[in-house]
Structure 1
Amino acid sequence: MSRLLDVQLFISVFVTLFVIMDPPGTVPVFLALTSSMTQHQRKRAARQAIAVSFGVILGFAFFGQQVLTYLHVTLPALQAAGGLLLLLIAMELLTGKLEDPTPVPGGAVNVAMVPLGTPLLAGPGAIVATMVYAQQVDGTKQWAAVLLGLVLVHACLYLSMRFADVVNRVLGSSGTSLISRIAGLLLAAIAVQLLAEAVLTFARQV
């Protein structure tokens, strides 16, 4: 295996992204955002969210630095934008506005793309971490390690959302509603933390 990929880099990528993206922690938020969906819709939302998250992070791994440089956007600015968006979603969860999500044309569920796919899964932390690892790559073995770590973390994320139905059946409608409020509070805290870190980074650069 060590001949095909950099095992140490793979472990580092997997552990870092697993901690940042937190597959078990996505379950209550996923249930909150998909509370009024059928089981089939929830499965489709999970697949869409994983596809969006993987595509966004992979795109930033290859082209992120060039895009940000071209747009004159710094990483703290990206982090602050993600924090603001998450804060808006958190407020809607806390007030119950997301308990009846509106489907978009074609049967796709809008919450699977935003905020679930990004910035919840493919958030500033995961994007920045992947960009940092991508900048360290200097060969095929390193790229294989980064890509495999990224794939396995998304596999864990999919499994956590795929079996969220089990949690949903155990909790019932009242429990899911309670989880929605708790998830909103946690998201608000994450959003404020992202904004605070972005502001501190900006302050250090002045």
Structure 2
Amino acid sequence: MRVNLKFLGEVYVTLLVIVDPPGMVPVFLALTGTMPPRQRMKAGTQAVLLALGVIVGFAVAGQTLLDYLHVQLPALQGAGGLLLVLVALQLLTGKADETEQQGGTTNVALVPIGTPLLAGPGAIVATMLFVRRADGLAEYAVIGLGILLVMLTVWLVLRFSGGIVKLLRPAGIEVLTRIAGLLLAAIAVQLIADAVDAFVELYTAAYSG
């Protein structure tokens, strides 16, 4: 039991640091700040449920799926980075509000909040690595519990972020949107750079071997 608790703590802390709920709040508010409170709560719940489904899905069958499609993990990372670039440009140019009005709550909740922000390449890769390390059904259950606890933490953070909207008011949300766009652009560039670096290492090792 002691080993399981240690493993649970490792899974929880690792995924929590990668998902970064406090860092998610500015982006979440930038994308949902103009929504009524009920719609914002719905968007947060949908995003968390999608992220939970994606992470669990990759934990169960991620490696098999990637092998079948002949896709390597750096490619998944690069794709997530490119998707975030598009979202960042929308936030920086003020087109996010237009997209929100056209697409409704569900589109914003699914992309980019649910994936690739919550269920991003980092969380997916970390989960797949934990599954590889797991020894027996008990440790698989510990990984599942760790994922559930992380998603519950994220949901609570998003659930109570509505109070920030009341403090910021429309002008503050507008400023926050631009800042969130800049942060997202930086995250996107880092994801793409990491993917390129991983590809270089991969092919260098392949040719040298």
Q: TM > 0.5 between the two? A: yes
Paired with 1:140 and 1:195, the residues of 2 have a C-alpha distance of 35
Q: Please identify which structure carries the higher helix content.
A: 2
Match of 1:114 among 111, 116, 132: 111
User: Is this contact kept in 2: 1:102–1:110, CA < 8 A?
Assistant: no
- Gaps in structure 2 of 5+ consecutive residues: 204-209
Unmatched runs of 5 consecutive residues or more in structure 1 = none
Q: How does 1:139-158 map to 2 (within 5 A)?
A: 139-158=136-155
Equivalent residues in 2 for 1:162-181, closer than 5 Å: 162-181=159-178
- Residue 177 of structure 1 deviates from its aligned partner by 1.0
- In 2, are the aligned partners of 1:35 and 1:99 still within 8 Å (CA)? no
- Which position in structure 2 is the counterpart of 1:49? 47
Q: Could you tell me how far 1:162 is from its partner in structure 2?
A: 0.5
Instruction: Check whether the contact 1:32–1:99 (CA below 8 A) recurs between aligned residues.
Output: no
RMSD: 1.3
Partner residue in 1 for 2:91: 93
Instruction: Give the deviation of 1:196 after TM superposition.
Output: 0.4
Identity across the alignment (%): 53
Alignment of 1:173-192 (within 5 A): 173-192=170-189
Correspondence for 2:62 among 52, 64, 67: 64
Instruction: Read off the aligned partner of 2:72 and give its amino acid letter.
Output: T
1:119-138 mapped onto 2 (5 Å cutoff): 119-138=116-135
From 71, 75, 78, the counterpart of 1:77: 75
Which residue of structure 1 aligns with residue 37 of structure 2? Answer: 39
1:160 aligns to 2:146 (yes or no): no
Question: Relative to 1, partners in 2 of residues 1:103 and 1:149: Cα closer, same or farther, differing over 3 Å?
Answer: farther
* Paired AA for residue 120 in structure 2: G
User: Given the alignment of the two structures, is residue 15 of structure 1 paired with residue 29 of structure 2, yes or no?
Assistant: no
Bigger Cα displacement from structure 2, 70-79 vs 31-40: 31-40
CA distance in structure 2 between the aligned counterparts of 1:51 and 1:26, rounded to whole angstroms: 16
The alpha-carbon deviation at position 103 of structure 1 amounts to: 5.0
Q: Distance in 1 between matches of 2:76 and 2:149?
A: 25
Counterpart-to-counterpart distance in 2, 1:22 and 1:89: 18
**What TM-score results when the alignment is normalised by the length of structure 1?**
0.94
Find the aligned partners of 1:132 and 1:142 in 2 and give their Cα distance. Answer: 13
Cα distance, 1:140 vs. partner? 2.2
CA distance in 1, matches of 2:28, 2:149: 19
The SS at the match of 1:37 is coil
4+ residue stretches of structure 1 with deviation over 6 A?
none
